[in-house]
Structure 1
Amino acid sequence: MKTRSNWLILLIITFLSCNLYAGDKTSFLKKQFTTSNGYKLNYRILYPLNYSPDKQYPVILFLHGAGEKGSDNEAQLLHGGDMFASYENQSNYPAIIIAPQCPEGETWSPYLHPSQNNGKREFPYSAPATKAMKAVKEMLDSYIDKGIVDTKRIYITGLSMGGIGTFDVVCRYPNFFAAASPICGGVNLKRLENFKGKTGFSIYHGAADDVVDPQFSRDAYATLQKIHADVRYKEYPGVKHNSWDNAFAEPDYLKWMFQHSL
């Protein structure tokens, strides 16, 4: 009788857990991380289905674009949130997904905006990490310290400002990320020429992008090929700046990431 009762309790818990999981961006928990120097970073986190703190999981870090900056701790999931949280993707690619939000007035990485540089976007070869990116790295390290992260399977992806940030942070920590998927981003090519890490790159860009020049991604792809990096590039004819819609719809967008391990 007791065994039957325990079985019924387990069944009820499983049923409730399945029904409480929304399968969209509302499933992400709201969190705030305070760095060692007092900087506060808002972020959302999604744990895998049937999460166990006794196991280690891959991590996907998602960096949003400039349009989603703020302090509401919601806008960063406008693009991609539902895709990451879908039942199908959570079932097939279980991972801890972390989506920080960059505050207004800051960026994920240092770069010169066209409005600041005679209409030309420029990426510095050498510049300190931004306050927001330093906070992101410290926050990631805090999860590693908890022992729940598979450190050989940490992945990063981002769009626009987040695509630029993806390139930047991978260059800063060349043996930290197993795979990176920058969408409509850009990077200083000399930094890529000197890249010594094992990170795999899957680059995406719209051919008609009038915000971030697709030539940035074309050049990044060619440079990574020259150094014999693991890289692929997908360009979408006629697509403007919203190439993340196409990238997120790729059937192997997450599958490709999960094939990589350091």
Structure 2
Amino acid sequence: MKRIKQLLNWCLLFSAIAVTAQEDLYKEEIHVQGKDTLQYRIMYPENFSKTQQYPVVLFLHGAGERGNDNKKQLVHGSKLFSDKTNRGAFPSIVIFPQCPKSDYWSKVEVDRSTKPIGLNFTYESGPTTSMKMVMNLMDEFSEKPFVKKEKIYVGGLSMGGMGTFEILYRRPEMFAAAFAICGGGNPASAKVYADKIDLWVFHGAKDDVVDPQLSVAMVSAILKHGGKPNFTLYSDANHNSWDPAFAEPKLLTWLFSKSKK
């Protein structure tokens, strides 16, 4: 029994070290605009040089990772980009902003009394404060001399998947490609970016939190307006379709191969 406890303690210690190392790769930053602040983490490529140019990836987390600790947003997705092999193969700058608990990436009315949740997207009333802050951050960051402007990407899951579709609508000229996992959006907005931005949409067929029909509707609208999106529907996945999506062997190869049209 004593040996088992010792092994468990060692496992917990190594796990804590791994988490700390993960967080250390993503530096803590704060973006300020007027009275508003946006906390975010940023990871630069190995051997980063301001005299070179790099692709940029913006990742939008889900509702469960909202807060003000500038930490929880790294729970899903950060390891995909910080993996040693991936960092070596795809040198890039990766940004993980954190949405406050009281806000949402997307302008949407959420009804959690139903399952899947009810969602009514109201883009016409303007972006949320958090979306405004992310756009302002990206507007400023994209002007840095070390940013490869033709290779700026965005992706996200759940609430972040919704934010991905919305930021494409609000900044169609900025992004070369995007991936949206278990998200949704306003299909009417797709005409703004459908034929300009390459997309890969993911969803779980068994999702009982965010209806997979929302992704189907977005893909249909993108096709209608001239886009040619990838669409992967996982027959056995529930809301955690980010697990098989992040495990897709060609996801990063596909993403980083895209340049602005």
- Tell me which interval the TM-score lies in, with the shorter structure as reference length: 0.7 to 0.9
Give the 5 Å matches for 1:92-171: 92-115=89-112, 120-171=118-169
Which amino acid counterpart does residue 100 of structure 1 have in structure 2? P
Q: Give the total of aligned pairs.
A: 240
- Alpha-carbon distance in structure 1 between the residues aligned to 2:204 and 2:111: 19
Q: Which residue, out of 234, 245, 255, partners 2:253?
A: 255
Asked whether the 8 Å contact 1:205–1:236 carries over to 2, the reply is yes
Does 2:68 correspond to 1:75?
no
- Alpha-carbon distance in structure 2 between the residues aligned to 1:143 and 1:58: 12
TM-score, length-scaled by structure 2: 0.87
Secondary structure at 1:122 match in 2: strand
| Runs of 4+ deviating beyond 6 Å | none
1:59 equivalent in structure 2: 56
Shift in CA distance, 157/52, structure 1 to aligned 2, threshold 3 Å: same
Which amino acid counterpart does residue 151 of structure 1 have in structure 2? K
Residues 41-83 of structure 1 show CA distances to partners (whole Å, capped at 9, x for unaligned) of: 1100000111101111100000000000001100000011111
- Alpha-carbon distance in structure 1 between the residues aligned to 2:42 and 2:229: 28
Q: CA deviation at 1:182?
A: 0.6
Q: CA deviation at 1:122?
A: 1.4
Secondary structure at 1:208 match in 2: coil
In structure 1, stretches of 5+ residues that fail to align are 1-21
Asked whether the 8 Å contact 1:23–1:86 carries over to 2, the reply is no
Asked whether the 8 Å contact 2:194–2:226 carries over to 1, the reply is no
Asked whether the 8 Å contact 2:166–2:185 carries over to 1, the reply is yes
Q: Which residue, out of 24, 34, 37, partners 2:32?
A: 34
Secondary structure at 1:91 match in 2: helix
- Alpha-carbon distance in structure 2 between the residues aligned to 1:196 and 1:222: 10
Q: CA deviation at 1:129?
A: 1.0
1:86 equivalent in structure 2: 83
Which amino acid counterpart does residue 237 of structure 2 have in structure 1? V
- Alpha-carbon distance in structure 2 between the residues aligned to 1:93 and 1:255: 8
Identity %: 40
Residues 118-162 of structure 1 show CA distances to partners (whole Å, capped at 9, x for unaligned) of: 962111251211111111111122222331211110000000000
In structure 2, stretches of 5+ residues that fail to align are 1-19
- Alpha-carbon distance in structure 2 between the residues aligned to 1:111 and 1:172: 15
1:188 equivalent in structure 2: 186
Shift in CA distance, 23/151, structure 1 to aligned 2, threshold 3 Å: farther
- Alpha-carbon distance in structure 1 between the residues aligned to 2:174 and 2:108: 22
Asked whether the 8 Å contact 2:209–2:239 carries over to 1, the reply is yes
- Alpha-carbon distance in structure 2 between the residues aligned to 1:50 and 1:230: 36
- Alpha-carbon distance in structure 2 between the residues aligned to 1:255 and 1:74: 27
1:46 equivalent in structure 2: 43
Which amino acid counterpart does residue 42 of structure 2 have in structure 1? I
- Alpha-carbon distance in structure 1 between the residues aligned to 2:142 and 2:255: 19
Q: CA deviation at 1:180?
A: 0.7
1:4 equivalent in structure 2: none
Asked whether the 8 Å contact 2:31–2:137 carries over to 1, the reply is yes
Secondary structure at 2:145 match in 1: coil
2:233 equivalent in structure 1: 235
